[in-house]
A = this chain, B = another copy of it.
Amino acid sequence: MRGKGKLTSSLEDYLEAIWLLSRESKVVRVRDVARRLGVTPASVVNAVKMLVRRGLVEHEPYGYISLTDKGMERATQIYERHTILTRFFRDILGLDSNSAERTACILEHHISEKALARLVKFLEFVEECPDVTPYWLKGLHHYLETGKRSVICPLRVKQR
């Protein structure tokens, strides 16, 4: 009953799109989803049919699309994966927002829970900014941009 009921990448994309659209405009139609994902309405109808079968969305013929509680929960999980990956690629690796978004969009379907959890901790560690991290991060970004190591850290000579 509480089994994961795996979704394909494609269905995850549809579910995520429906969720995002419903945050933006209260009412979601086939057409909106099609535009968002760059597919034909026919493809959306098909996908929605499958999501309905799995109890993740509701859809009255020729009417609006909405998420069930289960669908909502699932969509937020997917979106969380998305934002974590975006943050990593943008804030740590310094990719521009678009590239980071696109990368997240693809990888979000394939990364494991285990790996994702590590990434979360990594971000926590970096973003909550303890001792050396600010220096380290600056040094990293300088290196990513210029290919050269900065000499920001005054520790250098002291180390051994």
* Interface set of A (CB-CB < 8 Å, partner B): 89, 92-95, 99, 102-103, 106-107, 110-112, 114-115, 118-119, 121-122, 124-125, 130-136, 139-140, 143-144, 147, 149, 151-153, 155-156, 159
Interchain CB contact under 8 A, A99 and B115: yes
Interchain CB contact under 8 A, A103 and B115: yes
What secondary structure prevails in chain A residues at the interface with B? helix
**30 A-B contact pairs sorted by A residue (CB < 8 Å):** A89-B115, A89-B118, A92-B122, A93-B115, A95-B115, A99-B114, A103-B111, A103-B112, A103-B114, A106-B111, A106-B112, A107-B111, A110-B110, A121-B147, A122-B144, A125-B140, A125-B144, A125-B149, A130-B139, A130-B149, A131-B139, A131-B152, A131-B153, A131-B155, A131-B156, A132-B139, A132-B153, A133-B139, A136-B136, A155-B155
Known: A110-B107, A111-B103. A118 touches B132 (CB 8 A): no
Known: A112-B102, A136-B136. A118 touches B94 (CB 8 A): yes
